[in-house]
Amino acid sequence: MSKEATLQFEGKEFKLPVIVGTEGEKALDVRNLRAQTGAITYDDGFGNTGSCLSEITFIDGDAGVLRYRGHAIEDLAEHSSFVETAYLIIHGNLPNSAERRRFGDLLRLHSPVHSAMDHLFEGFPLGSHPMAILSALLNSLGCYYPHLATNRPTEDLANFEEASAIAISKVRTIAAMSYRKSRGLPYIYPKRTLPYCENFLHMMFSQPYEDFVPTPEVAQALNLFLLLHADHEQNCSTSTVRMVASSGANLFASVAAGVCALWGPLHGGANMAVIEMLESIHAEGDDGSKFIEAARSGKAGHRLMGFGHRVYRNYDPRAKIIKASFDKALASLGIKDDPLLQIARRLEEVALRDDYFLSRRLYPNVDFYSGLIMRALGIPQNMFTVMFAIGRMPGWIAHWKEVASNPKNKIYRPRQVYTGAVRRPFVPMAERP
């Protein structure tokens, strides 16, 4: 294959180098385009733009393939755990037993939050959204650990192991505390003896007078949910993390920005939006047919939430795994007839036969069934997106590190095509219409 592409523009020819990734993905290198031609590229929503070279996650959206550091998501879902996969994503390889032990010890060590942080939670009004609290508190970690948040990448990288363990461990503690705060419940502190997921469920659901002990199936379902969300290359929140990191900002500030980007209903908020959609279909007595009819408009407010994806033009492999594990999880929880699940299954069945969805290659994404799993596990609805954030933390951390340790790092600074008013005179207030 030629290592160059030729661009004809305004009567001249320009050579664009071709970059080929390890999985054969091709990219035209336009880094010198503006200098050579005076023109920039225009790509609304960045759907055709490679913003970086990355070694972390590979997705083939047409084939429905997802791999973390070369490992198929199906293999990890079957054989690994969230914590082990987090290590893989952050450090590049699966840990040996000593590395895994050390990682676990660090997570246990950092599971409690500084007692002064309790006062930060107190400052939020009752009913505050846990995503707002999570983002604010993650950012504040830089104040409690100033030596890990110098905003000088070389120094922050020197303490990366500690900072990354703090972020992974404390996101779970802060998430549980923000839930308890939003319900006016007393905080439950982490237990060092419990594994990652069990500890989270303990902090969420134990009472001062009684420990909550999940069944192994519930802990396993949560483990799987987190593992499946651990990274997804350059999605909206990860690109946000990389953008913030590109200015040299510390890990905590960068991942806090990721939480904000994740919050919206087109991204992580979709798992909550799916349940709201299913509930409203159920309340209207519709079996899904009327909703599908309206969803064909593709308009906001009518979209079939949990369907479609910028990258997957096929069944999202994560949705496949979640769907397959669903029946087992429901059986272990003793849930037989969930009307929302029946509506979801009907929506999927109808949409996958419908020309509108087929022609646009809209298939279920990870959020279509993940909200239902969370609901079955007893996770409250306003925590769904927070659960996504806990799962995505390893990915955000790995991408922060990739940016911070890149000796050729360039600050992210896209250009624009200006379409506003051309220069016009200043009119004094008295003369304005």
DSSP labels, 265-299: TTTTTHHHHHHHHHHHHHHTT--SHHHHHHHTT--
The residue (of 43 and 118) whose beta carbon lies closer to ligand CMC is: 43
If the CB atoms of residues 127 and 298 are measured against ligand CMC, the closer one turns out to be 298
Supply the minimum distance, in Å, between the C-beta of residue 267 and ligand CMC: 4
Residue with smaller CB distance to ligand CMC, 188 or 277: 277
| Active-site residue, from 110, 229, 367, 399 | 367
Are residues 238 and 342 in contact, defined by beta-carbon separation less than 8 angstroms? no
Which residue number, 41 or 151, has a Cβ lying nearer to ligand CMC?
A: 41
Beta-strand runs (E) in 22-61: 26-28, 57-60
Tokens of 358: 């087929």
Closest approach of Cβ 265 to ligand CMC, in Å? 7
In terms of Cα–Cα distance, which of 198, 200, 205, 203 is closest to 219?
198
d(C-alpha 148, C-alpha 142), whole Å:
7
Is residue 279 within 8 Å of residue 270, measured between CB atoms?
Answer: no
Q: Is 232 annotated in the active site?
A: no
Which of residues 190 and 308 has its CB atom nearest to ligand CMC in the complex?
A: 308
* Per-residue exposure over 405-427, b if at least 16 CB sit within 10 Å of its own CB, e if not: eeeebeebeeeeeeeeeeeeeee
* CA torsion angle 311 223 338 330 (round to 10): 130
Question: Minimum Å distance from CB 399 to ligand CMC?
Answer: 14
Three-state secondary-structure class, residue 72: strand
126 vs 130, 133, 180, 185, 375, CA distance in Å? 11, 11, 10, 10, 22
Question: Which two tokens mark 264?
Answer: 């919206």
Residue 402 CB, nearest approach to ligand CMC (Å): 19
- Indicate the Cα dihedral angle 257, 262, 264, 266, nearest 10°: 140
> Which one of 71, 91, 202, 309 is the catalytic residue?
309
Q: Is 62 a catalytic residue?
A: no
Give the tokens for residue 185.
């419940």
Question: Distance between CA 422 and CA 432 in Å, rounded?
Answer: 18
Residue placing its CB nearer to ligand CMC in the complex, 73 or 305: 305
Q: How many other C-beta atoms lie within 10 A of the C-beta of residue 283?
A: 8
- Provide the binding-site residues for ligand CMC, judged by CB under 6 A: 45, 232, 235, 266-268, 270, 295, 298, 303-310, 360, 362, 365-367
C-beta of 86: minimal distance to ligand CMC in Å? 18
CA distance 159 to 179: 30
Minimum CB–partner distance for residue 361 and ligand CMC (Å): 8
State which residue, 322 or 397, has the beta carbon closest to ligand CMC: 322
Task: Indicate left, alpha or beta for 284 from its phi (over 0: left) and psi (-120 to 50: alpha).
Answer: alpha
310 contacts 43 by C-beta, under 8 angstroms: no
**Closest CB to ligand CMC among residues 196, 368:** 368
Reported in sequence order, the residue ranges of 106-229 that DSSP labels E, i.e. its strands, are none
Minimum CB–partner distance for residue 51 and ligand CMC (Å):
16
CB of 311 to ligand CMC, least distance (A): 8
The residues annotated as belonging to the active site are 309, 367
